[in-house]
Amino acid sequence: MQRVESVKALRAQVKAWRQQGETIAFVPTMGNLHAGHLSLVAKARELADKVIVSIFVNPLQFDDKSDLSAYPRTLDADIEQLTSVVCDLVFTPTVEVMYPQGMDSHTKVVVPDMDDKLCGQNRPGHFDGVATVVSKLFNMVQADVAVFGDKDFQQLLLIKKLALDLNLAVEVIGGPTFREPNGLAMSSRNQYLTTEQFAQAASLYQVLSAVKAQLEQANTNYHQLESEAVSQLTEAGFVVDYVEIRRAQDLEIATKADHNLRILAAAQLGKARLIDNIACNLA
């Protein structure tokens, strides 16, 4: 596996692969890799001849600067893990490489209707930061396909919309959420949890699964199901941001006529802001 830090070296390798007729799959990450990330790399491997992973903690998407400085950076261990799966190139740019002109007056990519709801509501500028860095990475890597986790479902839909709206020649694909044995979705932020909180955190998936079970039993009182879920999570020790039953295709408020639903939640437990979501197809 090659490690590349400059855009010039990345483009040279991509060009050489293209000249040999190779296809390219891309997995953007912020590092601190876990089994969920590695599964996305394995999926990427199935989809193209060459796999590129990027590791870059993007300051532009952090609305809270202390969250940015605390974000776990484990580059050596990440590179070690990537050598255990088949990854051809890891791109590890610095902030100066990604933003040589600085970030203050940098061009921003905004994805309307997707950036201001759910996680966008309490994290101003977060999704603009994600859309901007992903657009830059897409332009640098020029992949045929890019794989993102279903765990960040709003982010996945936002990037799909970005690629569609801007006619980007990259197919954006989701990969399934990986879970701990207690059901907690794998996340780099789980390491902020104490042992006790890690056990408590299992409630998030349990509560979402209970909402799904109610929907499957034809309970269509979405508002009541959401409020009950918020109460259960609050009782379990979470400070809840939202629990919402939404239309899966665009995350708009679900009506009784919608059958393809997504149940999404975000909640703080100790120092960790946890998000999770599950699909619920009633058709």
37 catalytic per annotation: yes
Binding ligand PAF by CB under 6 A: which of 98, 130, 184, 201? 130
Binding ligand PAF by CB under 6 A: which of 47, 89, 133, 147? 133
Binding ligand PAF by CB under 6 A: which of 14, 24, 25, 30? 30
Catalytic residue among 37, 106, 223, 259: 37
Strands 145-149 and 171-175: parallel
Binding ligand PAF by CB under 6 A: which of 78, 152, 241, 244? 152
Q: How far is the CB of 126 from ligand PAF (least distance, A)?
A: 9
CA distance 96 to 76: 20
For the stretch 272-282, what's the b/e string if a residue is b when 16 or more beta carbons lie within 10 angstroms of its beta carbon? bbbbbbbebee
Binding ligand PAF by CB under 6 A: which of 33, 114, 134, 146? 134
Q: Is residue 58 within the footprint of ligand PAF (CB under 6 A)? A: yes
Helix then strand count (H, E) for the chain reads 10, 9
* Binding string, residues 203-232; x marks residues near ligand PAF by CB under 6 A: ------------------------------
Closest-CA residue to 92 (of 133, 41, 136, 57)? 57
Q: Is residue 28 within the footprint of ligand PAF (CB under 6 A)? A: yes
CA distance 24 to 17: 8
Piece in contact with ligand PAF (CB under 6 A), picked from 97-105, 111-119, 127-135, 262-270: 127-135
Q: Is residue 29 within the footprint of ligand PAF (CB under 6 A)? A: yes
Q: How far is the CB of 217 from ligand PAF (least distance, A)?
A: 34
Output phi, psi for 231, to 5 deg: -60, -45
Strand ranges of the sheet holding 260-269, from the earlier edge strand across to the other edge: 239-247, 260-269, 272-281
If the CB atoms of residues 136 and 246 are measured against ligand PAF, the closer one turns out to be: 136
With H, G, I as helix, E, B as strand and everything else as coil, classify residue 273. strand
End-to-end CA distance of the chain: 44
Closest-CA residue to 131 (of 99, 149, 150, 156)? 156
Q: How far is the CB of 22 from ligand PAF (least distance, A)?
A: 23
If the CB atoms of residues 37 and 212 are measured against ligand PAF, the closer one turns out to be: 37
Residues annotated as part of the active site: 37
Summarize as ranges the residues that interact with ligand PAF (CB under 6 A): 28-30, 58, 61, 130, 133-134, 152, 155
